[in-house]
Amino acid sequence: MFEARLLQGSLLKKVMEALKELLNEAAWDCSDAGIQLQAMDNSHVSLVSLNLRAEGFDKYRCDRNLSMGMNLGSMSKILKCASNEDIITIKAQDNADTVTFVFESPDQDKVSDYEMKLMNLDQEHLGIPETDYACTIRLPSSEFARICRDLSQFGESMVISCTKEGVRFSATGDIGTGNIKLAQSAKVDKEEEAVVIEMQEPVSLTFACRYLNSFTKATSLSKSVQLSMSPEVPLVVEYKIEDIGHVRYYLAPKIED
């Protein structure tokens, strides 16, 4: 028996938004530690890793590990039937071929349940090596979304360059060049509005704008986002999900041919 009840159901709705543009289907791996999902996009350029800890749920029960293959388009349709205020419970029997989503209104006067067929997915998990990144940049998530949107107009690729002074995002294309420089915040009233840079060595890498824009679908999950970079390895874009977990996106760089 698997059962996970989330008081703040809107978080699951937001998680869905953060996944569905990149992934058509994915396996939700459930254990007593919580729910994890790891999947590559169709082109195998990026990897999404979601972690929702058991402690973050109001009620969590997982008698035996199970992997639920879900069509994210279908799951998204179902989650659209939940109100933002609803409490959401995900339920499945052991070895079941369906999963049930239960939505309760806050005052319990409306309860809906939706059963969805599970899929058999050929799972391919990748081992992500522990990396000490040369640069980590924390910035407001809305700012990052704005930068990705603005620079996408100029070209397919964006260069992210980080030095001690700040971080520069650049894109070049037929109409010209765009450069956005963000300095490390000197003094901030609110932690989540800060730009904070930790740097061991300067790094400059090129990434496809298309994927970065897809990652920013997670913006509503967190006020800030963390970018981690090292020379010639994938970028990590991490959004924390309140007290329950995180979604991380890994994006392979573009390298000089």
Partner 1 sequence: KTKQKSITSFFTRK
- Residue nearer to partner 1 on the CB measure, 94 or 156: 156
Per-residue CA distances from 61 to 33, 64, 92, 94, 114 (Å): 10, 9, 10, 12, 19
| Site for partner 1 contains 22 (CB under 8 A) | no
Q: How far is the first Cα of the chain from the last one, in angstroms, to the nearest whole number? A: 51
Q: Which stretch binds partner 1 (CB under 8 A): 79-87, 121-129, 132-140, 176-184?
A: 121-129
- Whose Cβ is closer to partner 1: residue 81's or residue 126's? 126
Strands 157-162 and 87-92: unpaired
Q: Which of 45, 88, 197, 237 binds partner 1 (CB under 8 A)?
A: 45
Instruction: Count other C-beta atoms under 10 Å from residue 134's C-beta.
Output: 17
- Alpha-carbon distance 104 to 247, whole Å? 25
Does 126 bind partner 1 (CB under 8 A)? Our answer is yes
The conformational region for residue 44 under phi > 0 = left, psi -120 to 50 = alpha, else beta, is left
Contacts of 108 (CB under 8 A, 6+ apart): none
Q: Is 206 in the site for partner 1 (CB under 8 A)?
A: yes
Residues 141-160: x where in contact with partner 1 by CB under 8 A, - otherwise, as a string: ----------------x---
Rank residues 89 and 228 by Cβ distance to partner 1 and give the closer one. Answer: 228
Angle of CA points 15, 17, 21, to nearest 5°: 125
Interface residue with partner 1, options 36, 46, 136, 141 (CB under 8 A): 46
Given the complex with partner 1, which of 174 and 256 has the nearer CB atom?
256
At its nearest, how many Å lie between partner 1 and the CB of residue 40? 6
92-108 burial: b if 16+ Cβ within 10 Å, else e: beeeeeebbbbbbeeee
56 backbone dihedrals φ, ψ, rounded to 5° = -75, -10
Output 103 or 250, the one with its CB closest to partner 1. Answer: 250
Q: How far is the CB of 24 from partner 1 (least distance, A)?
A: 17
Q: Does 80 bind partner 1 (CB under 8 A)?
A: no
124 vs 165, beta carbon nearer partner 1: 124
Tell me how far, at minimum, the Cβ of 86 lies from partner 1, in Å. Answer: 35
